[in-house]
Amino acid sequence: MAQALREAWPRTKALGVRFNGSDWVEGGVALDEVIAFGRALHEMGYDYLHLTSGGNVARADIPGAEPGYQVRFAEAVKQAVPDAAVMAVGMIFDPQQAEDIVASGQADIIAIARAALDDPNWPHHAAVALGQGEGLPPQYERAGKAHWPGYGR
C-alpha cells in the first residue's frame, strides 16, 4: 500500500505519512516498531515522517496537557533515521518552543493545529517574535499594531 502510493504520487509534490509514536495503552505500538516503520517509509522515498500519537482504542490515557508531549516520538525517529525529514506536532504553540525543537535537532518541521486556528497568521507572528520578520510582503510590514497610527493612544 505505502509503495503503491509512493509510485502513484508525483515526485514533484511532497508526500509524507502521519503515524503514531504511541497508542498510550499497554500492548500498543512499541517504539522500535515505530522507528522501523519510519525507516521503511523513508527508504521507500517518502518526503517526511510526521509523528503523532492517538486514541486508537477507547481506554487510551493520553497526556495531552503537557507542551510538546509528542516531541519525544519525533526525536526518537530523527535519532534513528537522521536523513529523514521529521515533523513534530502536539501542544506546540510558542515560537521559541518551536524554534528550540528544530534548533536542538529533535525534529525538522513543526506542525501546529489549534495555534493556527486561533491565529491564522501564526507563522508571521512567530517570525517577528523570533526577530526574523524581514522579507515579509510589504503590506505585512505595516500590519503589526506597533505601526498603526493612533493605536494605544
Ligand X SMILES: Cc1cc2nc3c(=O)[nH]c(=O)nc-3n(C[C@H](O)[C@H](O)[C@H](O)COP(=O)(O)O)c2cc1C
What are the residues binding ligand X (CB under 6 A)? 18, 52-55, 62, 64, 70, 89-92, 112-115
- Report in angstroms how near the CB of residue 115 gets to ligand X at its nearest: 6
- Report in angstroms how near the CB of residue 113 gets to ligand X at its nearest: 3
The residue among 125 and 140 lying less far from ligand X, judged by its C-beta, is 125
Give the cell for residue 103.
534548533
Give dist(CA 119, CA 103) in Å, integer. Answer: 23
Give dist(CA 62, CA 37) in Å, integer. Answer: 22
CB contact at 8 A, 22 and 73: yes
CB contact at 8 A, 67 and 92: yes
- Report in angstroms how near the CB of residue 81 gets to ligand X at its nearest: 20
- Report in angstroms how near the CB of residue 17 gets to ligand X at its nearest: 11
The residue among 20 and 42 lying less far from ligand X, judged by its C-beta, is 20
The residue among 119 and 143 lying less far from ligand X, judged by its C-beta, is 119
Among the listed residues 122, 4, 111, the one whose alpha carbon sits nearest the alpha carbon of residue 48: 111
Give the cell for residue 81.
533515521
The residue among 34 and 89 lying less far from ligand X, judged by its C-beta, is 89
